[in-house]
């Protein structure tokens, strides 16, 4: 019977623990926080977006040339959902996102805790591991209080740097670098984008469905559609989260970065010019600002007029020249926001970077540097898009490592 240590009681660590214990191993989970699974409770805005039915390689990112999708192919979405169903979780599918039918993230953690108790897994909370050392075929694990334990295998599932208020820190990276592993630089993702553009404050609190493009050095890198939320310091919302990785990376590299927001993605610029002229014809007594009332949010109107640089919003709309109408249409199609990176890890849902995949066997999640050491979840240099992809990476790598460590 294998004695296995799991360092970290988050999503991947708990799945690895349950998987290994079901294979007959004696398992101990070390968690530095006062309870396990704290980060699971805030996923999906408290609903736990467990996975996504549209599970494709294109939704994952890494600096490595290795196929990071391999663990997910081995332990896929249906296998994950079957696992949770066996614990009592029924699925709720919204578009392609999958939630527990209870719509409570606490349900996902509760059923795992019940299974951990049933399997008699030893959980040590408020216990920080500060050192790992291989000795022959065994592993020595030291805690902050100088306690020493001996195991046959060690699984490091310490997570990334997102949400430090929930216990995420550099611990895992430090442990692994001392064992010869290398770390790809980290920055936050699935996070608010920061912009000094004055339109953000003007439209603070406003939500607007639009098509959003992100440009780095004037080259379009990605386009997303959805509801954008304007904040005092920038932009938020699902499409912004999907672009935030590029924003953070470009800022770290000191590259110019901009957001182009299309408020009318289903209309061409020519369509909008015609529509503006139609509205002028129907209400030539109105001023420029009044011309857009009933069509656009009032605070968006002011931003569009300012960028178009057509003069006072109180000027009569019948005085608009063709070039001015064209400029207004262009602003509606392409309101421009300068990007200054993102908010920090405190506000992020995931972490870019981590231990390079080049040093891990993705068939087993075992270290290629040290035998008997396994790495899972966000401690590795893989990050997924918003929508359940990061949790699927955690579940899949936890399943793979938990199973392989018992062999």
pLDDT of 167 higher than 90: no
My answer on whether 116 and 230 are in the same domain is no
Least confident range from 152-161, 220-229, 292-301: namely: 292-301
Query: Residues of 306-329 as b/e, b for ≥16 C-beta within 10 angstroms?
Result: ebbebeebeeebeebeeebbbbbb
CA separation for the pair 297, 320 (Å, rounded): 21
Among candidate residues 312, 327, 343, the one where a domain is terminated: 343
Does one domain contain both 53 and 152?
A: yes
Do 54 and 139 share a domain, yes or no?
Answer: yes
pTM of the predicted protein model: 0.94
- The domain of 226 spans 192-343
Is there a single domain that holds both residue 166 and residue 214? no
Round to whole Å and give the CA distance between 16 and 25: 11
Closest CA to 189 of 337, 33, 15, 378: 378
* Judgement on whether residues 142 and 244 belong to the same structural domain of the protein: no
Tell whether 231 and 305 lie within a shared domain: yes
User: Given the structure tokens 């001015």, which residue do they identify?
Assistant: 324
Let me know whether 25 and 165 are in one domain.
Answer: yes
- Listed residues 299, 317, 343: the one ending a domain: 343
- pLDDT tens for 323-346 read 999 999 999 999 999 999 999 999
Average pLDDT in the 133-146 region? 96
Q: What is the pLDDT of residue 283?
A: 81
Q: Are both 134 and 249 inside the same structural domain?
A: no
Same domain, 251 and 150: no
Question: Do 64 and 110 sit in the same domain of this protein?
Answer: yes
Domain count, the chain: 2
- Under the banding of pLDDT at 50, 70 and 90, the label for residue 284 is confident
Q: Do residue 51 and residue 155 come from a single domain?
A: yes
Please tell me whether residues 183 and 251 are part of one structural domain.
Answer: no
The pLDDT of residue 299 = 86
Single out the residue in 327, 343, 359 at which a domain terminates: 343
Which whole number is the average pLDDT over 353-357?
A: 98
Assign residue 117 the CATH number of its domain.
Answer: 3.50.50.60
């Amino acid at each position: 019977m294998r004695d296995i240590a799991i360092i970290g009681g988050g999503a991947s660590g708990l799945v690895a623990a349950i998987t290994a214990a079901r294979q007959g191993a004696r398992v101990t989970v070390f968690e530095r926080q006062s309870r396990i699974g704290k980060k699971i409770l805030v996923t999906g805005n408290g609903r736990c977006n467990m996975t996504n039915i549209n599970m494709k390689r294109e939704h994952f990112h890494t600096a490595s040339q290795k196929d990071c999708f391999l663990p997910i192919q081995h332990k896929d979405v249906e296998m994950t959902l079957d696992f949770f169903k066996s614990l009592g979780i029924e699925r709720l599918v919204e578009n392609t996102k999958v939630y527990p039918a209870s719509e409570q993230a606490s349900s996902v953690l509760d059923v795992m805790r019940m299974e951990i108790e049933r399997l008699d897994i030893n959980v040590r909370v408020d216990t920080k591991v500060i050192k790992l050392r291989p000795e022959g075929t065994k592993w020595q694990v030291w805690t902050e209080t100088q306690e020493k334990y001996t195991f046959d295998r060690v699984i490091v599932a310490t997570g990334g740097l997102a949400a430090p208020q929930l216990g995420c820190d550099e611990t895992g990276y430090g442990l692994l670098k001392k064992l010869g592993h290398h770390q790809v630089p980290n920055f936050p993702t699935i996070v608010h984008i920061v912009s000094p553009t004055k339109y953000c404050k003007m439209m603070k609190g406003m939500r607007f469905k639009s098509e959003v493009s992100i440009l780095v050095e004037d080259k379009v890198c990605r386009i997303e559609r959805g509801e954008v939320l304007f904040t005092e310091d920038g932009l938020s919302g699902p499409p912004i989260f999907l672009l935030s990785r590029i924003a953070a990376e470009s800022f770290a590299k000191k590259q110019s970065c901009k957001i182009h927001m299309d408020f009318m993605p289903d209309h061409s610029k020519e369509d909008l010019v015609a529509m503006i002229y139609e509205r002028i014809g129907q209400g030539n007594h109105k001023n420029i600002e009044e011309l857009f009332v009933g069509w656009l949010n009032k605070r968006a109107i002011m931003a569009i007029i300012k960028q178009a640089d057509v003069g006072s919003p109180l000027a009569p709309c019948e005085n608009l020249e063709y070039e001015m109408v064209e400029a207004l249409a262009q602003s509606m199609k392409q309101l421009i926001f300068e990007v200054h990176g993102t908010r920090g890890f405190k506000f992020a849902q995931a972490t870019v970077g981590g231990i390079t995949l080049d040093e891990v066997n993705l068939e087993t999640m075992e270290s290629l540097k040290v035998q008997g050491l396994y790495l899972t979840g966000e401690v590795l240099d893989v990050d997924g898009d918003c929508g359940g992809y990061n949790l699927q990476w955690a579940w899949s790598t936890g399943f793979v490592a938990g199973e392989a460590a018992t062999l």
